[in-house]
């Protein structure tokens, strides 16, 4: 991850990770609303101003890693191979995430990931922001389909179905993991459920947006 980075860039990345780790630990112990930015700065051994140099506020200290994946689905569709449909691209991207135990598809049982997910579920402000990311993912996917010549409203209908199915599958993974099931035990069921879930779209979207 740090290959090719300058010393300054590596130090900035290390500081960012230290802030995220400190914030996650404090939030998990005391709750999101009961921790101040000053306390996070002290735990990470930096100034309060440094926190704001990296993050605009407390919400970003939880949700920044999630925000990095907002464009994943749109990117998978934009980069799909000739002859591959949008449905196949989204399905394939999700399965790859499951195989790689990727937190972005709800398939990581790392303690820090589970703590963050539980924190989001239990904190209304964070949950609202997470839902906004989902809406942004939907908009980005619809934009890709429109760029390729699909009618705007049809593109949004298709994007809603694809994003909605994916989100439901991710939620199913989160439920299992937060209940204590290990990721390796959940993965096979997640793949089977994805086959069924995306399969429901196949009759209507199987050939939709197939690249010429």
Q: Domain map of the chain by residue range?
A: 7-57, 69-205
pLDDT of 210 over the 90 cut: no
What does the pLDDT average to over 91-120? 94
Q: Is the model's pTM score more than 0.75?
A: yes
Q: How far is CA 46 from CA 19, 37, 41, in A?
A: 9, 11, 5
Fold observed for domain 7-57: Arc Repressor Mutant, subunit A (1.10.10)
61: closest CA among 125, 104, 2?
Answer: 125
Q: Are 145 and 159 in contact (CB under 8 A)?
A: yes
Within 10 angstroms of residue 15's Cβ, the number of other Cβ atoms is: 17
85-116: burial string, b at 16+ Cβ within 10 Å, e else: bbbbbbbebbbebbeebbbbbbbbbeeebbbb
Q: Provide the mean pLDDT of the chain.
A: 93
Q: Which helix (H) or strand (E) holds 102?
A: none
135-149 average pLDDT score = 97
Using the predicted structure, report yes or no on whether residue 3 has a pLDDT greater than 70: no
Give the pLDDT of residue 1.
Answer: 55
- The vertex-66 CA angle with 177 and 164, nearest 5°, equals 70
At residue 136, does pLDDT exceed 60? yes
Q: How confident is the model at residue 198 (pLDDT cuts 50, 70, 90)?
A: very high
């Amino acid at each position: 991850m740090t290959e090719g980075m300058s010393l300054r860039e590596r130090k900035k990345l290390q500081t960012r990770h230290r802030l995220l780790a400190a914030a996650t630990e404090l939030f998990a112990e005391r709750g999101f609303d009961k921790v101040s930015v000053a306390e996070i700065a002290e735990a990470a051994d930096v100034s309060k101003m440094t926190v704001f140099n990296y993050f605009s506020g407390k919400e970003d200290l939880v949700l920044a890693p999630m925000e990095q994946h907002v464009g994943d689905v749109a990117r998978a569709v934009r980069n799909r191979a000739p002859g591959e449909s949008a449905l196949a691209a989204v399905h394939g991207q999700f399965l790859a995430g499951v195989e790689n135990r990727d937190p972005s598809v709800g398939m990581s049982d790392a303690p820090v990931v589970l703590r963050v997910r539980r924190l989001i579920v239990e904190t209304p402000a964070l949950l609202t922001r997470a839902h906004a990311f989902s809406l942004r993912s939907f908009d980005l996917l619809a934009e890709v389909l429109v760029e390729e010549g699909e009618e705007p409203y049809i593109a949004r209908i298709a994007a809603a179905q694809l994003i909605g199915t994916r989100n439901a599958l991710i939620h199913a993974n989160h439920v299992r993991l937060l209940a204590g099931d290990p990721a390796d035990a959940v993965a096979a069921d997640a793949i089977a459920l994805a086959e069924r879930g995306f399969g429901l779209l196949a009759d209507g979207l199987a050939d939709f947006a197939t690249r010429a």
